[in-house]
Structure 1
Amino acid sequence: MLKQVSAILALSISTHAGAISIDLGAATGYNLFIKENFTQPGADSQGKIAIGGNANIGQYDVGVNYEPGTWRDGKQFWTEPGKYSDVLVVGGDLTTTQWAWGNVKGNLILGGELTQGSSKNAVLGSTTKATPIDFNAAFTQFNALSQTLAGQSNTGGLEFKYNNWLILDGASSNDIYVANITGQMLANATDLTAKGLDQNDTLIINVSGKNINFDSLNYGKRESFDALDMSASNILYNFFEAENITFSGGIKGNILAPNANFTFLQGDLSGQVIAKSWTGGWGAQANLWDGFFVPPVEPPPTPTTPPAVVVPEPSAVMLLLFGLLALIVIRCKRA
């Protein structure tokens, strides 16, 4: 199951077609993993980003991990002050605005150059010249995985009620549930419910179509169906045919779209995105799963130590009186 908060890790699932191995290898731990170019003028990502081509991040913040809807910091990408993790990998050139200052909340690994006019103060940590990721090999793997998942049949029944409500009717098989839908169904859908799934299952939704435009999808209670009790890290949308995807709104779940140019207009996307290219708007925020933010823990109250009782030392006069009394008792016994 996709239980790790930081990534979709190796997974073997048993279906009618046998065992499938899900291993996102190089993309493990990244909020966004993009094969070619990346453009976004502002907003932020909660997690780390890897880009194979050129990147223009403008005033975009990378690796902030704010609590959604607030400015409160969560767990940052370092263990000690001044010791940062690698939060941004760019295979080509990187462009920021001249006003960028500490936008990259960690270290930068850069294959190309900071282009003319970019702020050299944009990186909070260090900058290293290197190309540590083989994006071509990684996306060869992702394409094979995407097609393998697309070949799986529905685990249970699927109803598209009122032309806006996806209802999955069935129980998972070996903790896996596969649902096959069209891009038009996703575009029209406002709700998704599945009474047979729980937080221990993994939901794989295969979405067909080359050009897909969709927005928010609600997993809450509707009519007699309870809310879908699953973490975003356990939901994978597989866009196995997509060439262009446009998204705006709010959704929780991981997106595998290895051949798609992904355009994120605005909203809040909680999950990992693997795509060919990325174009984002000022209001497009990416969160690393729905559980990555680690709120500060209030320290336990310091136990109060009861005041020590001070026993006064006997005075010299009292010692003298006790001594005289002892002498009197001894003499009386001898008499």
Structure 2
Amino acid sequence: MKKLPLFSAIFSLLLSPLGFAAQINLGQAAEYNAFVQNNFQVSSSDTQGRIAVGGNFIVKPHQYSHDKTNAGYSVGDMVHAPGTPSLVVGGNIELHAQGGGLQIHNTGIDHGTAVYSGTLVNGHKIGSGTASKVNKSELPVDFDAAFKHLNTLSDQLAAMTASATTTPGANATLTFRPAVPTADKVYVFELTQEMLDSSYGINIEGVESDALVVFNVTNTTGYAMKNYSNGGFCKTGDTSCAVLKLETVKFNGVNTAGDTSKDRNASPLAKQVLFNFNDLSNVKLASNVFGTVLAPKAAIHSTTAPIWGQVIANSWVGNAQINVGPLTPRDDGTPDVAAPPVVALFLAALASLLWFRRRQLFPSTAIVQPQFA
């Protein structure tokens, strides 16, 4: 019988995994330093790049601060995009402080603009720049579509298998080394709460200089890290909470921070690091962050330690300075190309099977080529 090999081939085709090229881009969020689906609340500090907030943008004194009257924030002092808003808000802009206010910049010393679709509270507190009310449909961001894409991306990254060796080193440093090089130069590692609690920094070795490194930050055991300042902590047993605490991240021995004493934006390698907090609803940033934070389902709370990279969150409360450091994407920004549906594959395989059986049952049937004298 010759049917079994054919059936085996057909079912192997139908059951084999379908390959997808690596598509790692932030979609609409790529143009923003901070991209938040709901509320964004601060009492001081600044974001060098653009901010997009789907809910309310709130500047108010911190509840634990000794100063209950002053609060101020600056947006966009490193933005160089004339004609585009440095601040996009789907809800209200609320400035709750006696002193301080909001400074909106674009292209150096030029005054920037903000657009919002809710209410402007205490608009006279805008010391630099202007704010304009628009209809929600006129906002340059579709937050629902953007976060659908970002949640899908986070899920896909979390599903990628980590193939690497992790070695504890001297000075509480974890070394990550891929088992084999990858064709797309994307490397995925798992970073647990236990690892973070016992380490001071991490070193990524054995990757190309232009590689993109993804850390899937997890807390499947509900591990409670130490309480690090006002960054907070996670309770024992809470698997929906995670803390990120890393003083250094090195890329083949080179610090991703660069020399920030000479240049506050000296972190080129941080653009090649992504921290993915998949399915976590509570994230605490308890130290400097050298890389992009992808936490589309999470409420993020931060200390005052700076971030060199982009931040994607469900909501934000904290005074970390968010420095420009856009993630280097792993494609041209186009959507994934859909794989052929299984039904189509089945029909093609069935047609092949019927053709094969017809040849077996009617071997004399053939196409006769005309002969010419």
Give the distance between the partners of 2:131 and 2:315, measured in 1 at CA: 26
- 1:252–1:290: 8 Å Cα contact kept in structure 2? no
Question: Which among 199, 204, 226 is matched to residue 189 of structure 1?
Answer: 199
| Identical amino acids, percent of aligned pairs | 28
Residue 166 in 1 paired to residue 169 in 2? no
Residues 188, 214 of structure 1: 8 Å contact kept: no
Answering whether residue 121 of structure 2 is matched by residue 121 of structure 1, we say no
Quote how far apart the aligned CAs of 1:63 are.
Answer: 0.9
**Secondary structure at 2:103 match in 1:** coil
Which amino acid is the alignment partner of residue 169 of structure 1? R
Return the letter of the residue paired with 1:155.
Answer: S
Bigger radius of gyration: 1
Task: Identify the residue that residue 234 of structure 2 maps to in structure 1.
Answer: none
C-alpha displacement at 1:61, in angstroms? 0.5
1:42 maps to a residue whose letter is S
Pair 1:232 & 2:235 matched = no
What per-residue deviation string (whole Å, max 9, x for no partner) do you get for residues 265-285 of structure 1?
A: 21110100101000013xx21
Task: Return the alpha-carbon distance in structure 2 between the equivalents of residues 135 and 36 of structure 1.
Answer: 9
Aligned to 1:296: none
Q: Which residue of 2 aligns with 1:146?
A: 154
Cα distance change of structure 1 residues 86 and 172 upon mapping to structure 2, 3 Å threshold:
farther
Q: 2:298 matched to 1:260? A: yes
Taking structure 1 as reference, are residues 162 and 244 closer, same or farther at Cα in structure 2, changes over 3 Å only? farther
In structure 2, distance between residues paired with 1:138 and 1:165: 36
Give the counterpart of 2:247 among 208, 213, 217.
Answer: 217
Give the distance between the partners of 1:140 and 1:164, measured in 2 at CA. 38
Match of 1:202 among 202, 207, 212: 212
Number of residue pairs matched by the alignment = 258
Q: Which amino acid letter does the alignment assign opposite residue 227 of structure 1?
A: V
The answer to whether the 8 A contact 2:162-2:189 is kept is yes
Residues 78 and 173 (structure 1), Cα distance of their counterparts in 2 relative to 1, 3 Å cut: closer
Long gaps (5+) in structure 2: 1-16, 61-71, 106-111, 220-239, 257-267, 328-373
Matches of 2:303 and 2:277, distance apart in 1: 18
Equivalent of residue 250 in structure 1, options 264, 288, 292: 288
Q: CA deviation at 1:186?
A: 2.7
After superposition, what is the alpha-carbon deviation per residue over 1:78-123, rounded to whole angstroms, capped at 9, x for unaligned?
55xxxx53110110011124544661111101010112x3425345
Distance 1:290 1:145 in 2: 16
Give the structure 2 partner of residue 90 of structure 1. 89
Q: Deviations over 1:228-286 (max 9, x none)?
A: 567111111111131111113212100110111000121110100101000013xx211
Correspondence 1:35 to 2:37: yes
Question: Which one-letter code corresponds to 2:73 in the other structure?
Answer: Y
Per the alignment, residue 117 of structure 2 pairs with: 111
Q: What SS does structure 1 have at the residue aligned with 2:214?
A: strand
| DSSP 3-state at the match of 2:43 | coil
Aligned-partner SS, 2:145: helix
**Aligned-pair CA distance for 1:197:** 1.9
Q: Could you tell me which residue of structure 1 aligns to residue 165 of structure 2?
A: 157
Check if 1:47 corresponds to 2:56: no
Would the aligned equivalents of 1:271 and 1:288 in 2 still touch at CA under 8 Å? yes
Structure 1 residues 104, 180: CA separation in 2 closer, same or farther (over 3 Å shift)? Answer: same
Q: What is the TM-score when the length of structure 2 is the normalising length?
A: 0.63
Find 2:321's aligned residue among 279, 285, 291. Answer: 285
Q: What secondary structure, in the 3-state scheme, does the structure 1 residue paired with 2:207 have?
A: coil
1:162 CA drift (Å): 6.5
Conservation of the 8 A alpha-carbon contact between 2:202 and 2:246: no
Q: Distance in 2 between matches of 1:203 and 1:16?
A: 23
Q: Secondary structure of the residue that 2:306 maps to in structure 1?
A: strand
Aligned-CA RMSD value: 2.8
Deviation at 1:49, TM superposition (A): 0.4
Q: Does 1:56 align with 2:69?
A: no
1:89 and 1:108 in contact (8 A); partners too: yes
**Given residue 126 of structure 2, which amino acid in structure 1 is its aligned partner?**
N
CA distance in 1, matches of 2:203, 2:165: 12
SS at match of 2:44: coil
SS at structure 2 position matched to 1:249: coil
Asked if structure 2 preserves the Cα contact closer than 8 Å seen for 1:155 and 1:173, the reply is no
Q: TM-score of the superposition, structure 1-length normalised?
A: 0.69
> What is the alpha-carbon distance in structure 2 between the residues aligned to residue 30 and residue 49 of structure 1?
6
Distance across 2 between alignment mates of 1:220 and 1:120: 41
Amino acid at match of 1:129: V
- 3-state secondary structure, aligned to 2:114: strand
Say whether the 8 Å CA contact 2:118–2:133 is kept in structure 1.
Answer: no
